[in-house]
Amino acid sequence: MEANTVSDATTPEIDRDWEDVDDISWTLLELAELVDAYWAVVAPAMETDGLDPKREKPTHSWLRDHGFRPLLYALREYHDRTLAEFWREDLELDAVESGYDWATNHERTIEALESFLTSRRERKGLADSSIDTLRYRLNRYVVAYCEENDTDDLVTPVARDGDIPAYKAVDACWAAFDRLHADLDGGQTKRRIHLAVSNWYAHLVRRKWAAVNPADGLDDEFDWSNGNDDDTDTPCLATEHVRALYKAADDQEDRLLVLALCAWGLRPNEVASLRARQFVLDVSTDEIPYITFEERKNGPGEVSLLYGKEVLEDRLAMFADSEDWDGYLFPSPHASGGSISRWTVWNRFTQLAEQASLPDEIGGVSPSPKMGRRFWYDAYSSSLDVVLGSLDEIAAEQGSASADVVLQNYLSDSRARKLRREYMRDQLAVAFEED
């Protein structure tokens, strides 16, 4: 194939005339323009290197080496996109690759990562869901390491037979965690990623692949015990605040946004990217509808849909007959399609807060979407107190030391969960003024 030419019938037309990477202000481009830039500049550079831009997803290291780091930055910071999501959803391409989409293309590093996961599965007996969560946390570290150190190779710096001083391996690892510490909000999240990474390096040391565990003792360097966990330190919206927000929401989309934040407890980026396929609504009478997440901040998971199902179904029905709908509950107004960004969620929440005449500060902080998630946590945790209170009489009749004993030893998990959910629904009904 001739270099600098992408010319078959399936190649999109280029809307802008960029000649090279230096002509592009990546952070100013909409998603559709980033797609154009990929075909105009990235694709020819890949062909020059003997790569197929339609079938081989470029690695982070290749992009950095060829001056395309700003593309990765623009996707992450301005469009809430990973490279894999951009490749799959915006370029609409299928990469020739197998297995998990690790953020590194270095074969020895991937082998070391998979060796650790295989050991955890076969020797520790971890379930597939736990392995998925562990893989997700390790990949968050890999992303930070590659971006901070400009290399996809995480094993050579710690290799037993290598000539790299141990302090340099430690410096590289710590630099990655400095980046994670700056990028992530929750101290608990950072601790969990550190534990996964430290255990991985320890596995390599035991296997004699590595001479040093550069993450050992790193948690003593950071104060993650009192980090900005969005479920502990963020001030909480009061019931009257949620009620005012919902009243101020004068269309279906804004009502759904308030429900997603306050009734479902989702993060702003999760709200922005919600898709119809994530909702499991067709469940038996005794089950609760739920939302599935392939990747969350702490790994894959599910969120129970305790409230707001009717508004959700109305939203889905509105799009049901649309042939060009891509499944996003909050579609982007731009021609490029996709979903709105997490910053749009923040902006819309701020506008609703102003319309609802919320205080300028709540707990000393300006109102933000994270306070809706904190409201959800506060309401759900208080449900446990109510359940325990209702068991006091049973505990007295049975001569148990406390309601805790009854809850833990005599009340089934499913029954306790049902009681908490019933109280949670009552709390949400009050907040959203449902009789």
26-38: per-residue pLDDT in tens?
888 888 888 888 8
The rounded Cα 90 to chain-centroid distance in angstroms is: 19
Confidence of residue 392 (pLDDT cuts 50, 70, 90): very low
Q: How many CA atoms lie within 13 A of 313 on its CB side?
A: 9
The two beta strands, 290-293 and 279-280, are antiparallel
Select the highest-mean-pLDDT range: 89-103, 245-259, 328-342, 380-394: 245-259
Q: Tell me if 57 sits within 8 A of 102, measured CB to CB.
A: no
Q: Is the pLDDT of residue 358 over 50?
A: yes
Query: What secondary structure, in 3-state letters, does the chain show?
Result: CCCCCCCCCCCCCCCCCCCCHHHCCHHHCCHHHHHHHHHHHHHHHHHHCCCCCCCCCCCHHHHHHCCCHHHHHHHHHHCCCCHHHHHHHHCCCCCCCCCCCCCCCCHHHHHHHHHHHHHHHHCCCCCHHHHHHHHHHHHHHHHHHHHHHCCCCCCHHHECCCCCCHHHHHHHHHHHHHHHHHHCCCHHHHHHHHHHHHHHHHHHHHCCCECCCCCCCHHHCCCCCCCCCCCCCCCCCCHHHHHHHHHHCCCHHHHHHHHHHHHCCCCHHHHHCCEHHHEECCCCCCCCCEEEECCCCCCCEEEECCCCHHHHHHHHHHHCCCCCCCCECCECCCCCCCECCHHHHHHHHHHHHHHCCCCCCECCECCCCHHHHHHHHHHHHHHHHHHHHHHHHHHHHHCCCCHHHHHHHCCCHHHHHHHHHHHHHHHHHHHCCCC
Are 157 and 171 in contact by the 8 Å Cβ rule? The answer is no
In a domain, 242, yes or no: no
What is the sign, positive or negative, of the torsion defined by CA atoms of 367, 368, 374, 379? Answer: positive
115: Cβ–Cβ under 8 A, 6 or more apart, which residues?
203, 207
Confidence of residue 88 (pLDDT cuts 50, 70, 90): confident
Overall pTM surpassing 0.85 (yes/no): no
pLDDT band at 308 (very low <50, low <70, confident <90, very high): very high
Both 283 and 336 in one domain: the answer is: yes
- Lowest average pLDDT, out of 16-20, 177-181, 185-189, 209-213, goes to 16-20
Q: Which of 354, 383, 398 is a domain's end point? A: 354
Of 48-52, 154-158, 182-186, which range is least confident?
Answer: 182-186
**Confidence tier at 70 by pLDDT (50, 70, 90):** confident
The answer to whether residues 264 and 204 belong to one domain is no
Residues 74, 115 share a domain = no
What's the confidence (pLDDT) of residue 394? 44
**Is residue 381, in this structure, part of any structural domain at all?**
no
Structural domain includes residue 149: yes
Q: Count the neighbouring beta carbons within 10 Å of the beta carbon of residue 433.
A: 11
Rounded to an integer, the average pLDDT of 332-340 is 77
Residues 183 and 122 reside in one and the same domain: yes
* 147 and 122 share one domain: yes
Total number of domains in the chain? 3
Which range of residues forms the domain containing residue 342? 253-354
Together in a domain, 215 and 114:
yes
Task: Looking at the structure, tell me whether residues 210 and 112 fall in a common domain.
Answer: yes
Q: Is the pLDDT of residue 90 over 90?
A: no
CATH number for the domain that contains residue 292:
1.10.443.10
Task: Assess if residue 167 is contained within a domain.
Answer: yes
Picking from 230, 258, 260, 241, the residue whose alpha carbon sits closest to that of residue 377 is: 230
Residue 118 lies in a domain: yes
Q: Which two tokens stand for residue 186?
A: 């929750």
Mean pLDDT value of segment 147-171: 92
Residue 158 lies inside a defined structural domain of this protein: yes
Q: Which of 305, 327, 354 is the last residue of a domain?
A: 354
Q: Assess contact for 313 and 202: CB atoms under 8 A.
A: no
Closest CA to 86 of 98, 73, 97, 96: 73
Mean pLDDT, the chain, rounded, equals 80
Contacts 24+ apart (CB under 8 A), 37-40: 37/71, 38/71, 38/91, 39/6, 39/11, 39/12, 39/14, 40/14, 40/16
Higher-pLDDT residue of 82 and 383 is 82
pLDDT at 10 over 60: no
pLDDT at residue 246 tops 90: yes
Residue 18 and residue 70: Cα distance in Å, rounded?
Answer: 15
Examine the domain organization and report whether 197 and 133 are in the same domain. yes
Residue 207 sits in the same domain as residue 112 = yes
Query: For the domain that residue 189 is a member of, what is the CATH number?
Result: 1.10.150
Asked if the structure places residue 70 within a domain, the reply is: yes
Amino acid 229: pLDDT: 43
Answer with the one of 333, 354, 375 that is the final residue of a domain: 354
